[in-house]
Chains A and B, each alone.
Chain A
């Protein structure tokens, strides 16, 4: 597995925000490799740029300078349309506030990414069912988000993130809004997805106990990486 080309290669990555006349540097000259099967937790104080970094990985933001290389090809210089396509094929997002569509049922929410593939209806329904079963919420398939608890909504969000079988899962504070017990359930699920299904996961969190579920912990402070907790 380690002989394969890394999934991600970040080279010399910098991001600066300009607010009027002021320039604020979020991070500078970052280098980072993410290999297949990795489970990385990125931690750091607020404002350290963890989410900004996640956004670069997910192609929803572009760096001020440097390169984001995915499977040997640069994605930081792709057009909006090309990025949208790339995301639909390769990325699954999990957000702190779930971001489910309130007017759709759980199953319909999970089906959304599949509408961007060429799969016929029957095939889509099968995959949705599988995804729901994996996260353990198949019994609530017909419920709308407002009828689900926080933890249940996050499960649906995870199902949505994996249903199209993406190469990378990007999670932004996935347990930020959940109580301890539910958080542990969600984190265990993520761990399972990584160890049993081989999903590569990059998770941003400020919670040290959440970070423990990952294989690697990276600490981002003042725009630089500090690695901690090597390998599990």
Chain B
């Protein structure tokens, strides 16, 4: 065992002799892991935001076949029929906890790029606050019904300018005042601007129609009761899903795309890093041929020579991986970004460097280190003993 450690120690201590190439290997592994972690951080952050957005016990009603809020049109009668459906929860007054909602797309200016991007202006009813998990007004106050007042999500404030508390802002043809901010703990709703339903219907000439109806279920299972009721009711042509399901479907797209881009790209870069590692190890063995032969002449086994080279390669790869993890974590983690979501509006999310992605990065680094060191290791193990005499 001592001989193994001694040889490994010698290998590692000889790294500075090949400083240039060793650094090249470390950086190539670092870049590869950084790319992977960067994409995963985006994907995980996006997923987390969207996944955290849906409740099991809130049902979302849309017009049959519309698939997205923006495509859906519902009428006042629909709301009345839903209110009396079995499985819909009621408050202490016996009223159904229900919010009919309608959103339009408005433009906001992104702080980072100073270009315009789409934001949802959602008209809601009073119960909307009860139908979002972790909802809290974080500054200012709720808007007054009928007033051109806005309650702005924290994500919007972070990523867009002009929405600070007390400011007036022009959206579409109208001027609004920001009277409060809200947070839902980082879910998709933090990327929205809310106002009274009636105001939106009025200003955007929607009459009394809405797009979606959200209602609290008595329990997550109650959704089945609701479905049966709707199917039996001819006057209703609705699709109902739990809010969690609704968001899971829409999130899928971008997160999957990011992972589909991130992993293949990292694998391709890994091939490059692997070639680099192999190259460096090859040089390592080459430049130390006489040393290795001497050790084996003294009596050290071929196995120790193999392990020495392999461990040297793994150490370089691990250093690269660790460097990347550190840099990405510091630069990315917790930082905000926003991109196009399912409804053609921006969704604000935070990069999330998860333990899972860190492990993926390390595994990839180790794989590169291992593959890059294995063949040179075998070469080291088979250095001809007669090389002791070489000049």
Contact = CB atoms under 8 A, between A and B. Distances in A.
**Chain A complexes with chain B:** yes
Interface in A69-95: 80-81, 84-85, 87-89, 93, 95
Centre residue among B298, B386, B391 by max chain A CB count within 10 A: B298
A226 interface: no
A101 B299 contact: no
B389 A87 contact: no
B235 interface: no
A103 B10 contact: yes
B297 A93 contact: yes
A160 B294 CA distance: 12
Contacts of A97: 290, 391
B165 interface: no
Contacts of A85: 299
Interface in B297-313: 297-302
B76 interface: no
B298 A116 contact: yes
Given A88-B299, A112-B295, A113-B298, A93 B388 contact: yes
A55 interface: yes
A204 to B, nearest CB: 10
A104 B389 contact: no
Contact of A99 (B17, B300, B386, B388): B388
Contact of B389 (A80, A88, A160, A172): A172
Interface residues of A, number: 27
A24 B124 CA distance: 97
A152 to B, nearest CB: 18
A58 B291 CA distance: 17
A80 B302 contact: yes
A229 interface: no
Contacts of B301: 81, 84
**Chain B: number of interface residues, binned into ranges:** 20 to 34
A17 B106 CA distance: 86
Contact of A84 (B296, B388, B391): B296
B3 A116 contact: yes
A56 to B, nearest CB: 11
Interface string A160-180: 100000000000100000000
Contacts of A84: 296, 299-302
Contacts of B298: 87-88, 93, 112-113, 116, 160
A102 B294 contact: no
A96 B390 CA distance: 10
B232 to A, nearest CB: 82
B6 A103 contact: no
B388 A115 contact: no
B385 interface: yes
B80 interface: no
A116 B299 contact: yes
B339 interface: no
Interface string A45-80: 000000100010010110000000000000000001
Interface string B256-297: 000000000000000000000000000000000011001111
B14 A103 contact: yes
- Most chain A CB neighbours (cut-off 10 Å) among B14, B17, B388: B388
Contacts of A96: 389
Nearest to B3: A115
Contacts of A102: 14, 17, 291
A60 B386 contact: yes
Given A55-B386, A116-B3, A101 B291 contact: yes
Given A84-B299, A93-B298, A112 B6 contact: yes
Nearest to A60: B385
Contacts of B391: 97
Nearest to B14: A103
A45 to B, nearest CB: 17
Interface in B1-29: 2-3, 6, 10, 13-14, 17
Contacts of B13: 103
Given A113-B299, A116-B3, A104 B10 contact: yes
A172 B391 CA distance: 13
Interface string A140-154: 000000000000000
Contacts of B10: 101, 103-104
A207 B298 CA distance: 26
Interface of B: 2-3, 6, 10, 13-14, 17, 290-291, 294-302, 385-386, 388-389, 391
23 contacts: A60-B388, A80-B302, A84-B299, A84-B301, A84-B302, A85-B299, A93-B294, A93-B388, A95-B294, A95-B388, A95-B389, A97-B290, A99-B290, A99-B388, A101-B291, A102-B17, A103-B10, A104-B10, A113-B299, A115-B6, A116-B298, A160-B298, A172-B389
Given A60-B386, A99-B291, 8 more contacts: A84-B300, A84-B302, A87-B299, A93-B294, A93-B388, A97-B391, A103-B10, A160-B298
- 9 interchain residue pairs of minimum CB distance: A88-B299, A60-B385, A103-B13, A99-B294, A87-B299, A115-B3, A115-B2, A116-B299, A84-B299
